[in-house]
Structure formats: C-alpha cells, structure tokens
Structure 1
Amino acid sequence: MGSTHKPGQKKKQMTRIEFTSLLEINGKNNSRCAAMAKKRSVQGIDLLFNKRFMQAAALLLLFYFVILPYWEIIVAICFYAIFIYALLRSKSHETKRNEVLEKDIEEIDAMNGLDFEQYLGALFEEMGYMVKFTPASGDYGADLLLTKGNRTIAVQAKRYSSTVGVKAVQEASGAKGFYKTNEAWVVTNNSFTKNACNFAEKIQVRLIDRDQLINFIVRHKNKKLEKVMSPKAITPTVGENDKA
C-alpha cells in the first residue's frame, strides 16, 4: 500500500524549507553588511590618518622653508614686542600711580575703602617700600604687606568718617602674627580713640593718624617738586652787595 499523507502535511514541509532558506539568506546579508561597515570604518580611519599626516607635513614644510631661515628675526621681533608691552604697561602703572598720588586729604576723605588701600599702596611705594595687597576678603587683618630691607610690616587701612577704635588695633596685631611680620601699623584718615592708643602702645602697634598721613603726603609732594626743579632754578643769585 502506498503511503498516505494527511491533508496539508506537504505544504507544511515546504514552508519549513522556505523559512530555513530565508534565514540563511538573511544571515549572509547581515555578514556582508557587517563586512562592508568594517571596511568603511577602516577606510575612514585611513582617510583621517592621511589628512592628519598631510597637515603635519604642511606644518613641517612651513617651519622648514618659512620660519627656520628667519628664526633669528622672528625671535628678535618677539622679544622686542614683549619689551614694548612691558614698557607700556610699566608706563601706564606709573601714570596711574602719579594720578592717585595727586589726591589731597579732602579727596582721600571721599574715597571708599578699596581706593584708600590703593592710595596707600602707591604712597608707600613712593616711600621706597615693596607693596603687596592682600585679598579683598579673608585678609586676616592686613590690607597691605610692606617690605623694606629687613623690615616687614602688616598694614590695616581704615578710611573712616569717625574715630578708629580698639578693634582695628586687634586686627593689625593678629595680622602681624599670621603673616609673621615684625611690625604692625594701622593707618587712617581720621584719629584714634584713647583706648585704641593705649592698647596699641601696650602691644606695640604703630598708629598713623590724619596728621601723620598729611605729613607723608606733603613730604611726597615736596620730594616730587625737588625732582621737577633743576638745581639752577633753586640756586640763589648773588647780588652786588653780597660779594666779598
């Protein structure tokens, strides 16, 4: 007897074969896509490498044929530019400092605290001190640090419209310990209370009040006037009656 098949059995077998073939075709296509993607990635890396190589070669040629033959001139120009920049900056700093030092005591009274510190810095520089400004906040009691020879000084600046009390003296003394200076000053455009003066004397803090500050200003202006005037201009003439 011949074999008997149930209805639809052959069709199911054909469907499985077709499905298996389809999977094999998809697998081959995926492999080809992966290979093509890998090939393109390698080509992209090679192209990028070649581009970077060409750029490096162009820079090398530029250095060899353009910069290297004239390197002495280029270096000289660079040094000259740096020198001019430093000179202009120094001149600008000097001009600004001179403008600040032209202020009189009434103009100082109208300054804010930061401007007063800048003024004192310029004044002390003119008096021969090396000046360093402390940070605006967290200064530990000192607004300026002065150095002159073996002397180091912590300065507390107080631009006040009223008298300066004990607290400023305490701050200056604390700054002396923190910055390890050998002197501490409090400078104000006003005056000090009696308690502040007594306390400063006990702990050896120098107090510079309005009168002493004016004295510093006058000495500076007189010194500047002496530089401006020539020796011939200030030499007195001898009259006929003064001759021996």
Structure 2
Amino acid sequence: MTMLFSILFIAMAFLLYLYFDQKKLLESYRMNALDTFSSHEDMKETIRIGLFNRFKRDLEQDKEEDPLLFEYFVADIMKSVRGGTTLVTRSSGDFGIDILEHTDEGLYLGQVKCYNDFNPVGFDPIAIIHSQMIKQDAVGGYVVTTGKFTHNAYTYAEGLGIELINGNQLVELWLKHLETKSESITGLSPVSQI
C-alpha cells in the first residue's frame, strides 16, 4: 500500500512539474509575442490605420454608430490605463464632450475624433473642451484622434491642461490597456493563486 502511495505521489509531482513548466513556457511565449508586437513601428502604424478603418463613419454602409463605438473604445482604454471611471455621454446634447472621466485628481473631459491623416484635428475641439472644463470645473481634458493634430492645435492647447493624444499615442495606450487586461486575467487564474 505504501508503495502505491509513493508511486502516486511521484506521478502527481511529475504531472505538476510538467503543468507548471508548460504554463511558464506559454507565459514566456505570450510575453515575447506582446514585446515583439509592441516594439515594431510598422505594426503600430498598421494598427493605427486599422483603428481608423474600424471606427470611421461610412455613409455607404450606413455605419452611423461606429463613432459612438469609438468613444466606448477610448473610454475603456482611459479607464484601464489611468485608473479612473469613465462615462460616455449621450450622442446629442453633450456640448462636445464625449467622455467624462472621474479620477482621484478630479474630473477630466474627453473628446474623440476618428480622422485619417489627410484630415488632421484643428484647434476647435480643444476650444470646446477648454470651455466645458471651465463650466464643469474640470481639472483637465483630452482630445483623442486616430490621426494627427495640426500645429495650431498643439499651440492652442499649450498651458490649458488639455492632452492631445494622436493615433500613435492611442495605439501605445491600447497596448498598455491590453497588457493590463492580460495581467488582471493572469492574476485571477486559479493556477496563479497556488
């Protein structure tokens, strides 16, 4: 009987060793893939263009809700990366504010623009955010685009507490969001609790 328990114990120990070894190997592959994915500029540029095509308004296909989906996409990223809570405003009557973000520092107001590089974002959304920051006593704001900002936009935003997040920066934030999401899933895994 003792020999049977010894054999079962050795077999169980061997299986646990194999399991943890495979888990470690898979985690290593996942991290290498994420590092490779996030380090190549061509890949990031492809992702940025893909985000524009995914969320752009396409009148031929009557995709009117896609800009609203982009607002939810950005709100999710901001909540994950910055640690606050976000609320996407109604599509009408929001006075130019797409996202309300509550953090420990206070309220941040956000506006998103799904634009391509041939239509850079000017200073108008920044002026709207700034006006609403004053009205709503917000501590800051941001404008997020899949494309780029004009020189005038950057100049106008200086000193206003408004962050301009272009398409490349959005991809970086999304990759951080995915990494945070992956870490939280790994942290919840029953195996990681052993």
**Residue 90 of structure 2: aligned partner:** 135
Shift of 1:141: 2.2
**Residue 120 of structure 1: aligned partner:** 74
| Unaligned segments of structure 1, at least 5 residues | 1-103, 234-244
**Residue 145 of structure 1: aligned partner:** 100
Does the 8 Å contact 2:49/2:146 carry over to 1?
A: no
Higher relative contact order (CA 8 A, sep 6+): 2
Instruction: Evaluate the alpha carbon distance shift between residue 229 and residue 118 of structure 1 in structure 2; reply closer, same or farther with a 3 A threshold.
Output: closer
Equivalent residue letter for 1:156? Q
Secondary structure of the 2:143 match is strand
| Unaligned segments of structure 2, at least 5 residues | 1-46, 56-65
Number of equivalent positions: 130
Tell me if 1:108 matches 2:55. Answer: no
Does the 8 Å contact 1:155/1:187 carry over to 2?
A: yes
Tell me if 1:155 matches 2:110. Answer: yes
Tell me if 1:188 matches 2:145. Answer: yes
Fraction of identical pairs, as percent: 25
TM-score where L is the length of structure 1: 0.48
Which residue, 111, 125, 131 being the options, matches 1:174?
A: 131
Instruction: Name the structure with the higher helix share.
Output: 1
Equivalent residue letter for 1:217? W
What does 1:189-208 align with in structure 2 at a 5 Å threshold? 189-208=146-165
Does the 8 Å contact 2:143/2:163 carry over to 1?
A: yes
Shift of 1:167: 0.7
Deviations 1:117-154 (A, max 9, x none): 01112222323221122221121221111011132101
TM-score where L is the length of structure 2: 0.60
Separation of aligned partners in 2, 1:153 and 1:174: 13
Equivalent residue letter for 1:149? D
Does the 8 Å contact 1:132/1:145 carry over to 2?
A: yes
The structure that has the greater radius of gyration is 1
RMSD over aligned Cα, in angstroms? 2.3
Equivalent residue letter for 2:140? E
